[in-house]
Structure 1
Amino acid sequence: MKKTILSLFLMASAITYPCTGISLRTQNGDLVQGRTIEFGESNINGKIVISPRDREFKALTTEGKINGLKWKAKYGFVGASVVVDQFIGEGINEKGLNAGLFYFPHYGSLAEHEKSKANISIADMELVTWILSNFETVDEVKEEIKKIKVVNIGYDDKGKPLPTAHWRIGDVKGNNIVLEIVNNGEIKIYDNKVGVLTNSPDYEWHIKNLNNYINLYSGNANSFNVNGEELFSFGAGTGALGLPGDITPPSRFIRAFFYVNTIGEVENTKLAVNKAFHILNNFDIPIEIEFPKEYKGNIPKNVISATQWTAVSDLSNREFYYKTMDNSQIRKIDLKKIDFSSVKYQAFPMDKEKDNFLEINIK
C-alpha cells in the first residue's frame, strides 16, 4: 500500500486538483455544504465509506508509516474517499459535522515530522477522518487541532514535502471555518463568511481579491443614450460582464462567490441541495482543457471528466448527496437511517453501473 500511496501522490504533485466548495444557508439558518473534486492524471477511484462508532484508527505519518496518532471513533460518518479508502476527501458525521480537504500547493506548509512525537502526529490526508470521527462542533475542532501535529504523507524525489491541503469544516449550528496550516505548522483559522473555498492562494488573499470585482451584479446593465445612439443589453446578464470564466482557483472563487450570493433566499434544505448542485455544475471541468496539446496523448482513457465527483451535505438533516463523472444521477445517503453502533465498516464504489443515460421508452 505504501508504494501505491506515494507513487500516486508523487504523480499528483505535478498537476492541480482544482476543487470548488460552496456553502448555502436557508431562511432558517440551516447550512448546506457542496463541493467538486477534480484530478486529471488518473482515476482517483472514489468510494463511499461508511465508518461506525468505536472503530479504532492509527494514523499514517511521513513516508506512509502507520505509526501515528491512535484514537477510537466517537461518531460514525459517511464520506467520499480519494485514491485510497482511508483518505476521505469530503464527508459528514452522525452529528451533522461536515469536513473536506482542498488542494493547497505552494502555500500549505506543515510541521516537520518528529519521530518522538509520532503518537500525536497524523498525515494531512487523514485529517478529515480524524475530524469526522471525533467531533460534533467546529469549536471542538478549533480547540483539539492545537493538540496534534499534521504532517505530510511523504516527500518527492528531491526531498521536498508533497503538496498539502487546506480544510473546510461546518457544523449543524451554522458555524463554518477554513483551516490552513502554513509556515511549517502554524495554524490559521478563518470564519468562512463568504461561503466559498477553492485552492491556492490562501483564504485571506481570495477575500482581498473580491474587491477587484465589486462592479459585478445580477441582472442587466441599464440602457443609456450617447449623442442619440441608444446603447442596450444584447441579452440577459450584462451586470456580470467581467465575471472570470477560466478554471484557475482565483477565478473559480470569484465565480462561486457571485453565484452563491445572487441566488436569493433559499427556503429549505431540499431546495438548497438542489441549488448547490446546479451552481456546482458550472465548475465541471472537461479533462482536455487542463492539459497542453503535447500532453493530450497521455490523458487516461478511463477519466472522462476532470471533475470526478461532486458532493453536497445537508448538515441539519444528516444527508449526504453525490454524483460522479460516470453517472449524473444524484444519489442520497440518509445518515439517520444508519445505526452507527452496529453497522460494519465498508467502502464501496460510488457507481454500481457507469451508465449516464436512461432510455425513455415511448408506447
Structure 2
Amino acid sequence: MTIGATLVLAATPAASLACSRVTWTGPNQQVITGRSMDWPYGFNSHFHVIPRGEAIEGAGGINSLRFNSRYGAVLVSGSTEPGGAVDAVFDGMNEKGLAANLLYLAENDFGLATAGAKRPRLSFAAWTLYLLSQYATVKELVVAVQQDRIQIVPVPFGPGGKAKATVHMAVSDASGDSAVIEYLSGKPVIHHGRQYQVMTNSPVYSEQLKLNAFWATKDRTHDLPGSIQSPDRFVRGMYYNEQLPPTTDPRQALAGVMGVMRNISVPWGTPDPEHPNISPTWWRTLLDQKNGVYYFDSALSPQMVWLNLRQIDFSPGSGVRAIAIESNPSLQGNLNAQLKVAPPISFLAPKP
C-alpha cells in the first residue's frame, strides 16, 4: 500500500466535519488568509467587535481564566447549538493583523485537568478570542503556547451534547509568519514557520505533511486528488496556493485566494447517501492582513460582506458591537456603519 493510500484511509473517519485554511503571501508585504466552515448546521454567525481593555470571562468552569483584551479584534462568532445564542468564536483577526482560524481535528486531545490543578481553565469556545486579544505576532503567541500554562476545556456541544470539541488552531500574522497548533496527548504540538500555509482536518499535521510530500513527487498538473476528504483538500490547497501569481494587485490577490478556497470547499446540497455525515460549506472568510479588511462569503447569500478594521474604534470603553451575517442575506458591502452595540459573548462553559 502506498503512503498516500495509507494516510487517506487513516483520515476518512474524521473527514465528515470539514474545514480548510490557506494563507498566501505575496509582493509588497501582502498576506491573505482564507478559511471555509463546513458543518451539519448553521452557526447563526455574527461579526463581533471586541475593543481593547475588555474584561472577558473564559468560561472554563472551576478556576476559570479571566483576562482583559490587549488588542482589539473582529471575530466571526456563533452558536454551537442550532438556533441557540452566540457562545463561541471560530475565526478572527486583530488590529495588528494576527489571524486565528479554529478547525476540527478528531485526534486533538487537550488532556484532562487533574483535581487541584492550578492552571487556569479556558473554554475551547473562547480560545480564538483569547489568542487574538493577547498577542500581536505568531512568534510571541507560539512562545506563550509552548509554556502550556492554560488548560483548554473541550466542552461537549451541539444537539444532545454529542459533538466533541476536538479542534486545532491555525494562526498567521501580517509578516506572513504562520503556525499550526495541535494538542496531542494533552501537550501542545506546534508547527511554526512561513511554510505551514495550509491546514484542513485529519490526520494530524505531521501526517498531512508526509502526504503532501508524496504528492509533490507527482505531476500534479495531471494527477491531483479531487475528493472532498480532508487529505485531498490539503493536497489541493497546497498545490493551488503555490500556483497563485505574485501579483501586486490586491483585488487579484483576493480573487486568487478565494479561488483556492472555493476549490477545496464542499458544495451545498443534500449529503451523499453513502457518506451522510459529510457536510457542506456554510461560509468562507478572507482576511486581508495587510490592509485590515475582513471578508465574509455566505453560501446562502449572493453578496460578500466585510468590515474594515482601520475604520473601527477599538479604544477602551468603545464597547462590544456586532451584526448577524449568516441569517441576513440582504446585507452587502462594507458593514462598518451597521454594527450595533451588543452584550459580551457568554461562552459555552462546562456544566457545574
Q: Are 1:23 and 1:33, in contact at CA under 8 Å, matched by a contact in 2?
A: yes
Aligned residue number for residue 227 of structure 1: none
- Check whether the contact 1:59–1:66 (CA below 8 A) recurs between aligned residues: no
CA displacement, residues 54-112 of structure 1 (integer Å, 9 cap, x when unaligned): 11111122xxx47510101111110111425342111100111111111000x211121
Deviation string for 1:141-184 (max 9, x for gaps)?
11222222222114899x99924111111111221111111112
Residue number in structure 1 paired with 2:150? 148
In structure 2, how many angstroms separate the alpha carbons of the residues matched to 1:258 and 1:247? 15
Counterpart CA distance in 1 for 2:228 and 2:275 is 20
- Corresponding residue number in structure 2 for 1:167: 169
Note the C-alpha offset of 1:243. 1.1
Change (3 A) 1:154 1:15: same
Q: Secondary structure at the match of 2:236?
A: helix
> TM-score normalised to the size of structure 1?
0.77
In the superposition, relative to structure 1, how do residues 216 and 149 fare at CA in structure 2: closer, same or farther (>3 Å)? Answer: same
**Alpha-carbon deviations, 1:214-240, whole Å to 9, x = none?**
3555xxxxxxxxxxxxxxxxxxxxx62
Out of 253, 257, 260, the position equivalent to 1:272 is 253
Give the conservation status (yes or no) of the 8 Å contact 1:120–1:149.
Answer: yes
Look up the SS of the partner of 1:150 in the other structure: strand
Instruction: Assess if the C-alpha contact under 8 Å between 2:180 and 2:196 holds in 1.
Output: no
Is residue 2:109 matched to residue 1:109? yes
Tell me the equivalent position of 1:75.
Answer: 71
- What code does the residue aligned with 1:185 have? K
Residues of 2 paired with 1:46 and 1:162: CA distance?
Answer: 20
Q: 2:96 aligns to what?
A: 95
Cα distance in 1 for partners of 2:66, 2:194 equals: 30
Distance 1:67 1:257, change over 3 A: same
Partner-residue secondary structure (3-state), 1:49? strand
> How far is the alpha carbon of 1:36 from its aligned partner?
0.5
1:244-300 per-position Cα deviation (integer Å, ceiling 9, x unaligned): 11111100001111110112213244432221112212133234464426959xx9x
Match of residue 208 from structure 1 = 210
Q: Cα RMSD over matched residues?
A: 3.0
Distance 2:214 2:104 in 1: 24
**Structure 2 counterpart SS, 1:172:** coil
| Residue 171 to residue 185, structure 1, CA distance change in 2 (3 Å) | same
Q: Could you tell me which runs of 5 or more consecutive residues in structure 1 were left unpaired when the two chains were aligned.
A: 1-12, 218-238, 300-304, 358-363
* Inter-CA distance 258–14: structure 2 relative to 1 (3 Å threshold): closer
Q: Deviations over 1:307-362 (max 9, x none)?
A: 111001111211111110211422221111011114321232115742599xxxxx
Match of 1:346 in 2: 321
- Give the Cα separation in 2 of the matches to 1:160 and 1:307: 21
Asked if 2 retains the 8 angstrom alpha-carbon contact of 1:320 and 1:335, the reply is yes
User: What displacement does 1:137 show?
Assistant: 0.9
CA 1:137–1:244: 2 relative to 1, 3 Å: same
How many Å separate the matches in 1 of 2:304 and 2:162?
39
Between the aligned partners of 1:211 and 1:134, the Cα distance in structure 2 is: 35
Matches of 1:35 and 1:176 in 2, distance apart?
Answer: 14
Would you say the 8 A contact 2:22–2:198 is kept in 1?
A: yes
Letter in 2 for 1:29: Q
The equivalences for 1:173-212 within 5 A come to: 173-191=175-193, 193-212=195-214
Kept in 2, the 8 Å contact 1:27–1:268? The answer is: no
1:33 shift after superposition: 0.6
Distance 1:115-1:290 versus aligned 2 partners, 3 A rule: farther
Task: Give the alignment of 1:246-257 within 5 angstroms.
Answer: 246-257=227-238
Amino acid of the residue matched to residue 93 of structure 2? I
Once residues 83 and 271 of structure 1 are traced to their aligned partners in structure 2, the CA distance between those partners, rounded to angstroms, is 33
Q: Which residue of 2 aligns with 1:34?
A: 34
Q: Distance in 2 between matches of 1:326 and 1:155?
A: 24
CA distance in 1, matches of 2:275, 2:236: 29
Residue 188 of structure 1: CA displacement? 2.9
Distance 1:160 1:36, change over 3 A: closer
Which of 146-155 and 250-259 deviates more?
146-155
Which runs of no fewer than 5 residues in structure 2 stay unpaired?
1-12, 81-85, 333-352
Note if contact 1:70-1:119 (Cα within 8 Å) is conserved in structure 2: no
1:135 aligns with 2:135: yes
Deviates further, 81-90 or 258-267: 81-90
Q: Aligned partners of 1:268, 1:306: CA distance in 2, in Å?
A: 31
> How many residues in Structure 1 have an aligned counterpart in Structure 2?
311
Contact 1:309 1:322 in 2 (8 A): yes
TM-score by length of 2: 0.79
Find the aligned partners of 1:160 and 1:30 in 2 and give their Cα distance.
Answer: 41
In structure 1, C-alpha distance between the alignment counterparts of 2:274 and 2:17, rounded to whole Å: 19
Aligned to 2:56: 57
By relative contact order (CA 8 Å, sep 6+), the higher-ranking structure is 2
Distance 1:25 1:14, change over 3 A: closer
1 CA distance for matches of 2:285 and 2:87?
A: 18
Give the fraction of aligned pairs with identical amino acids, expressed as a percent.
Answer: 23
Counterpart Cα distance in 2 of 1:344 and 1:283 = 37
Deviates more, 1:308-317 or 1:282-291: 282-291
